[in-house]
Amino acid sequence: MAAHGLPESAFQIEVIKTTGDRVQDRSLSEIGGKGLFTKEIEEALQDSRIDIAVHSMKDAPTWRQSGLVLSTYLEREDVRDAFLCDSYNEVDQLPVGAVVGTSSLRRRAQLLARRPDLQTVEFRGNVQTRMKKLADGVADATFLACAGLNRLGHKEPMIRPIEPDVMLPAVAQGAIGIEVREADVDTIELLVPLDDAPTRKLLEAERAFLTALDGSCRTPLAGLANLRGDRIEFRGEILRPDGSERFQTTREGLSSEAAALGKDAADELRAKGGPNFFDA
């Protein structure tokens, strides 16, 4: 609306509940992976029931349905994870045996790598659902993405951002992508003013890393790219699900080499982990 001076009546928002939203009693790795957050939305796009699909890129698989393209990336929000707990300020203050709720294999693995004495429980649902579970005592603490908390206006004192050098975020965390039909030139043109070039470049590196590792919600891995002028700095890591083993690497190069940097980092970590690392 703002970019083109159009009235609200020019748009119709279609809310689509995906399988990933509806099934809350099992982990994503059990019910089919990240594609469960995009499948129904992409089907609506293919059928021309909608013209623009909006995705959280953290939940978007690296493959696209035929005829669809990610044309636009909005400016990225805060990439960090947040630690939520009423009684303690950080993970290291939690008592032995404390229960932490998380639906993320990555966060669970990173947590157990740091504190193998802690217990974890499945914590599915939207931000409000997870915060209610925490208030109800289902767990002593949990993690949420700062981006979602910021977008929803949550400013509670119990929300404490975690720096990436302590907990490396998920690939594409904080980024919103817009998907359209590849042949729909008019809609693609309409979206051009919304595209954020730096975010696109960062995600080239991160999603190339994810693709090379065949990453999904079944694979504990993390990756984050930063742009410094015309150069990209990338950090990536892979972990065993129980946190017993982790490998990390960094890359730096020209932003024009973003995808190559991500892939090269993935190749190194795959070699370090060995052929059976992702089988666990």
Give me the catalytic one of 21, 47, 51, 59: 59
| Nearest residue to 143 via CA among 119, 166, 127, 165 | 127
d(CA 201, CA 183): 23
What are residue 261's DSSP bridge partners? Answer: none
Confirm if 170 and 224 have CB atoms less than 8 A apart. no
Residue type for 264, please? D
Question: How many Å from the N-terminal Cα to the C-terminal Cα in the chain?
Answer: 48
Spatial neighbors of 177 by CB under 8 A, at least 6 apart, are: 54, 55, 57, 60, 70, 72, 73, 74, 203
Q: Annotated catalytic, 59? A: yes
Q: How many CB atoms lie within 10 A of CB 32?
A: 16
d(CA 18, CA 28): 12
CA angle (128, 161, 118) in 5-degree steps: 80
The DSSP code for 176 is: E
Residue type for 157, please? P
Confirm if 19 and 205 have CB atoms less than 8 A apart. no
Which are the catalytic amino acids? 59
